[in-house]
Amino acid sequence: MSGLTSQLRYIGFSQVLYNSTITVRMERSELLRMGIKIIPVCPWDENDMEVEKSSSKKHKLERTYKCSRKHRISLLSSTNGELRGWT
């Protein structure tokens, strides 16, 4: 459960979530090509989220995650790979 943590602000259109932030943890992973695993914490129930496997080709700058209770969020990044926020 160690790793670098950061806070990401909601950048979507919902007024209810406007000032919401989530915690995102980055950990080393020898299984992944880039070597870093991103683990967001669900904003509704505080569970760790896992990247959702999708059969469709999503835009490279958006990655969808879900928790064990099926809540979903998307993390958005800039072209240089820096995380911008969540929706």
pLDDT digits (tens, 9 = 90+) for 53-68: 765 555 678 999 999 9
Contact yes or no for 65/37 (Cβ under 8 A): no
pLDDT band of residue 81 (cuts 50, 70, 90) is: confident
Cα separation, 61 vs 48, whole angstroms: 21
- What's the total number of domains in the chain? 1
Residue 35 pLDDT exceeds 60: yes
pLDDT band of residue 14 (cuts 50, 70, 90) is: very high
Which residue range is the domain that position 10 belongs to?
A: 4-86
